[in-house]
Chains A and B, each alone.
Chain A
Amino acid sequence: MLLIECPFCGPRAEIEFSYGGPAATRRPDDPAQVSDADWVDWLTVPENRAGPVPERWCHAKGCGAWLTVLRDTRTHDILDVRHGA
């Protein structure tokens, strides 16, 4: 169980949050100008490295805010939490 420090609500259990995917890669500004291969890479091949990774989480059962969480995939330590993307 992760304990995520929501900037508004304080520390809350993982079950109050919904995972929103990796936050590292930026969505292409104009998908029509992106090749099919690059689009598939962006859409379905998220970075999955060992170490701190930025992720989007929504405090769905709490204040409803979208957060960017820096989580270490080796230890599950939450290193940083901030509002928005």
Chain B
Amino acid sequence: MAYDLTITGPARRTVFEIKGDPSALGSDLLPPWPDRPCRLTRQDDRAFLWLGAHRWLLIAPPDHEDGLDAALSAVHHPDASVVLLSDSLAFFTLSGRDADVAMSIACPLDLHPGAFGPDACAQTDGFGVRALVLRQGDGWLLAVEQAYAPYIAAQLAQIV
């Protein structure tokens, strides 16, 4: 069976991991805080994800990296740790009418819009490895550790 599915990637994005208290970094650099765990906010092509009790991810386009790195590096604070993870994660985008079906094969979460809305995000299982899942437009963004990118690409290719 052929699915109406377009897959792009693996691609690189700007990713910063923030641990501790992100308010220590000031409000100019980050989108507003998500109001609940496993939720994200978006601002200026940047997404701010709350993924753990004291862990956030800032995801931005690749060309934002130098500017963000300089700005975040300039804000040293003992209550917040900022680590550049852009080289650690590989991003795949899934779009098309059957993108939801493909994601239901990849991951065990209930991804129905009623349970996983546009502002939801999750670290979960994707084809057996740790994966980051969030909606993007009418499709999905799936990120895994860089080393697993060829494996994920092969799994997605099997679906198509």
Contact = CB atoms under 8 A, between A and B. Distances in A.
A19 to B, nearest CB: 15
B37 interface: yes
Given A9-B123, A65-B52, 11 more contacts: A8-B52, A9-B37, A13-B108, A16-B125, A61-B123, A61-B129, A62-B123, A63-B37, A63-B51, A64-B55, A65-B53
Contact of A9 (B122, B129, B130, B131): B122
A83 B53 CA distance: 10
Contacts of B131: 61
A63 B124 contact: no
Interface residues of B, number: 16
Which 10 interchain pairs have the tightest Cβ spacing? A63-B52, A13-B108, A61-B130, A61-B125, A8-B37, A62-B123, A15-B125, A16-B125, A8-B53, A9-B38
A76 interface: no
Interface string B121-160: 0111100111100000000000000000000000000000
A61 B144 CA distance: 11
A15 B108 contact: yes
B37 A61 contact: no
Contacts of A15: 108, 125, 128
A29 B89 CA distance: 40
Q: What interface size band does chain A fall in? A: 10 to 19
Interface of A: 8-10, 12-13, 15-16, 60-65, 83
Nearest to A60: B130
Nearest to A11: B110
Given A9-B37, A10-B38, A15-B108, A64 B52 contact: yes
A23 to B, nearest CB: 19
19 contacts: A9-B38, A9-B122, A9-B123, A10-B38, A12-B108, A12-B124, A13-B108, A13-B125, A15-B125, A15-B128, A16-B108, A16-B125, A61-B124, A61-B131, A63-B37, A63-B51, A64-B52, A64-B55, A65-B53
A78 B120 CA distance: 25
